[in-house]
Structure 1
Amino acid sequence: MKRALFTTAVVLASLQSAWAEEKTLVINSYGGPYEAVQRKVIFEPFEKKYGVKVQVATVYSADMLAQLRAQKAAPQFDVVQFSGGQEIVAAMEELLAPLEASSLPNAANLYPFASEGISKGYGPVALVTVMGLIYNEKTIPQAPKAWKDLWNPAYDGHVVLTDLSNTYGLQSFMMINKISGGSLENWQPGLDQVTKILDGSTVITSTQEMQQNFAQNDAWIAPFAQDYAYVMRKAGLPVKFVQPEEGGSALYITMNAVKGRPNADLAAKLIDFSLSPEVQVELAREMRYSPTNRLAELPADVAGEVVHGEGLQQLIRFDPATVAGIAPKMVADWKRTISH
């Protein structure tokens, strides 16, 4: 009898452990304000709605892909976010669980570019951050309109460039190269153009340095991200963002289900929750990310600072797989150029 009771207790403990595991979703985020806002707008409301626990780990995109590879036999994450196109590689390596459109009701209202990955084995684009130009509206002689304004002689000595070791710097350089007549196969035109504007310009490596230059070093203009212009403005700096007339560069943030996890249904629900127009409006309001759900109606003050609607159709996305292959050589060439 005692043995039977012991066996029953063990079985119940095992079941309770399994139930607890099934009620917990593990997802990565990117720390700082981004993660804080996601907790407030997505994870905590989702927990209340579905009675589950969302466990968040701060893991950036490249490291997240490395962890998925290392954990392939026993994955530890249910949902992963990528911001650099790693979802394409992860899907090719069968690290992600394909999603059915029927499990994502909000996917029907996404812009086509945001939902096309679902049929290719990876998750939808939940948010877009746009690379364009940020500028000090109080000190710059004339507000910029185009990428070519970066080499306007009137701005000499007041331009800030970001090193290509930073994703924002890499995206910015590829836009400069494209506007200068280059391509992903030939980035010499971009390097030649950078050489012309390096004298008197500042090259930084981090977002913190960008804010310092606008606050302390009389920076007027820089190629940088839409959302970070808002971060700087909240810090009291008179910084504005403009989508250049030649178009902006798009960085997609995707949410993907991981293969081999027991919570596939809940994972899909969390991803779909992030695609809802209500959540996307809040993320645009809180962080100035561009929504991918066409039903997201932005307040006027937010809409004036966020690329949305038809503006999203003008964005340029450089093929992540191609960029991953050329980036090391491009970065090396860049470092030689700026060191001269």
Structure 2
Amino acid sequence: MKKYLSSIAMVMMLTTTASFAQEKPTLIVNSWGGPYEKLHKKLVFEPFEKANNVKIEVVTLYSADTLAQLRAQKDAPQYDVVHFSGGQEVIAAREGLLAPIKPEELTNAADLYPFAAEGLARGEGPVHLVTTVGLLYNEEKVPRAPDSWKDLWSDEYGDHLILTDLSNSFGMLGLLMMNQIWGGTLADTAPGLEKAGELLDRSVIISSSPEVQQNFAQNDAWLAAFAQDYAYTIRQSGLPVKFIIPKEGAPAVYFTANLVANRPNQDLAKKLIDFELSPEVQAAFAREMRYSPTNSKTELTPDVAQDVVYGDAIKSMVRFDPVQVDEIRNVLVENWKKLISR
């Protein structure tokens, strides 16, 4: 009889456990694949699941595709938190696809650098990481370490240059920065295109991040306009490549974490976003992939701090209006294609 009752108790316990498991809340989020997504899971999603008894479903989806899906799902959204790196949060917020977050709903909001939280008032999610586009150079080959965007036009570097195609967001930002230092604006990109044209005979044009490393390793590249985090990736492969923020500043790429409108579990979703803003998580991203933190309380070791935009250097970041960039993108890309096909 005792054995029979024990079996009943066991069945009831297993049933209850299964019921609880089925009731575990689920958050659906996107990430961007590759090493970044692996680190995203390791540093954010998996610890958050354990600490909050929640399941996180990760969909590999880049920023532009994420915005397209949000638009298609407007009446029945499927994501709880979406991450953008191309300024799409500005557009998504204007279209009512994102739910506003009040600063007091995030425990880390008060410690963010002002630029990282200013979008909250417009319905955009906070900036949780940053990378910048500056100059990468082979410190063993260059006759002089560069310190200006205009060094790209210096004869000192000969034909050892890398230019990035505008199909790559880093290439787009690099050209916009070149345009700015030569007197152009977002309304007038002719100066940048003209000056870029002067470099075509001295450079290799690439479109993807791995090609940067390949050219530094195999094609005797000395100088490239590219992202700070990738300089670290190349250096980890054994190449003497360093990153410098030119004196005119460096275009910033904001990584934002955004709350999707009209979804359940929004309190839990905001808690996940807040977790991404914590100094501990941001310090780990800086250490592992050299992304810049946006929480002013984040502490970095000297070897990490020298590789990222950090502290007072935050003031050197240049931000191009994502909406304006989106408006001129197609025409600019077409003009770029005509330029490089000559």
Alignment TM-score, normalising by the size of structure 1: 0.93
- In structure 1, what residue type is equivalent to 2:192? G
Match in the other structure for 2:43: 41
SS in 1 for 2:50: helix
- For these two proteins, the number of residue pairs brought into alignment is 327
The percent of aligned pairs where both chains have the same amino acid is 57
Partner of 2:75: 73
1:79 Cα deviation after fit? 0.2
Counterpart CA distance in 1 for 2:183 and 2:121 is 34
> How do 1:174-323 and structure 2 match up within 5 A?
174-323=176-325
- 4+ residue runs of structure 1 moved beyond 2 angstroms? 19-22
Greater alpha carbon shift after TM alignment, 315-324 vs 203-212: 203-212
Q: Give 3-state SS (helix, strand or coil) of 2:58's partner.
A: strand
Q: Does 1:102 align with 2:104?
A: yes
Unmatched runs of 5 consecutive residues or more in structure 1? 1-11
**Preserved contact between residue 84 and residue 251 of structure 1 (Cα < 8 Å):** yes
| Partner in structure 2 of residue 151 of structure 1 | 153
2:281 is matched by which residue type in structure 1?
V
Structure 2: distance between partners of 1:16 and 1:65: 35
Task: Indicate if the aligned counterparts of 1:22 and 1:263 stay in contact, CA closer than 8 A.
Answer: no
Q: Is the 8 A contact 1:132 1:223 kept in 2?
A: yes
Name the CA distance, whole Å, in 1 between partners of 2:222 and 2:337.
Answer: 24
Deviation (angstroms), 1:313: 1.4
Contact 1:22 1:262 in 2 (8 A): no
Residue identity in the other structure for 1:322: Q
For the residue of structure 1 that corresponds to 2:210, the secondary structure is helix
Letter in 1 for 2:138: N
Deviation at 1:185, TM superposition (A): 0.8
1:93 alignment counterpart: 95
Secondary structure of the corresponding residue to residue 182 of structure 1 = coil
Which deviations, in whole Å up to 9, do the C-alpha atoms of 1:152-182 show, x marking residues without a partner?
A: 1111210000001110000000000101111
8 Å CA contact 1:156, 1:197 repeated in 2: no
User: How big is each residue's C-alpha offset from its partner over 1:283-318, in whole Å with a ceiling of 9 and x where there is no partner?
Assistant: 100110010000001111101111111111121100
Residue 191 of structure 1 and its aligned partner are, at CA, apart by: 1.2
Asked if 1 retains the 8 angstrom alpha-carbon contact of 2:139 and 2:145, the reply is yes
C-alpha change, 1:314 and 1:254, in structure 2 (3 Å) is same
Match of 2:123 among 121, 139, 147: 121
Partners of 1:109 and 1:16 lie apart in 2 by 40
Amino acid in the other structure paired with 1:178: Q
Contact 1:281 1:291 in 2 (8 A): yes
What's the CA shift for 1:200? 2.5
Quickly say closer, same or farther: Cα 1:238–1:262, change in 2 above 3 A: same
Show the counterpart of 1:62: 64
Select which of 135, 143, 148 maps to 2:137.
135
Q: Counterpart of 1:206 in structure 2: which amino acid?
A: S
Q: Return the alpha-carbon distance in structure 2 between the equivalents of residues 181 and 216 of structure 1.
A: 35
Structure 1 residue 16, shift from structure 2 partner: 5.2
Secondary structure at the aligned position of 1:199 is classed as helix
The one-letter code sitting in structure 2 at the alignment partner of 1:99 is I
Structure 1 residue 21 displacement after superposition: 6.5
The amino acid of 1:164's aligned partner reads L
CA displacement at 1:139 relative to structure 2: 1.2
- Between 104-113 and 21-30, the greater mean CA deviation after superposition: 21-30
C-alpha separation between the residues in 1 aligned to 2:140 and 2:22?
A: 55
Q: State the one-letter code of the partner of 2:223.
A: I
TM-score (norm 2): 0.93
Query: 2:63 and 2:54 mapped to 1: Cα distance?
Result: 25
Q: Distance in 2 between matches of 1:53 and 1:313?
A: 38
The 2-side partners of 1:16 and 1:175 are apart by 56
CA distance in 1, matches of 2:311, 2:267: 30
Q: Is the 8 A contact 1:227 1:288 kept in 2?
A: yes
Task: Kindly provide the amino acid, as one letter, of the partner of residue 85 in structure 2.
Answer: S
Q: Determine if contact 2:162/2:225 at 8 Å carries over to the other structure.
A: yes
SS at match of 1:218: coil
Matched-pair contact (CA < 8 Å) for 2:251–2:319: yes
1:83 aligned onto 2:85: yes
Task: Answer with 227-236 or 245-254: which moved more.
Answer: 227-236
- Matches of 2:23 and 2:256 in 1, distance apart? 24
2:8 corresponds to: none
Deviations 1:312-335 (A, max 9, x none): 112110000000000110111111
The question of whether the paired residues in 1 share the 8 Å contact of 2:134 and 2:245 is answered with yes
| 1:22 Cα offset (Å) | 5.8
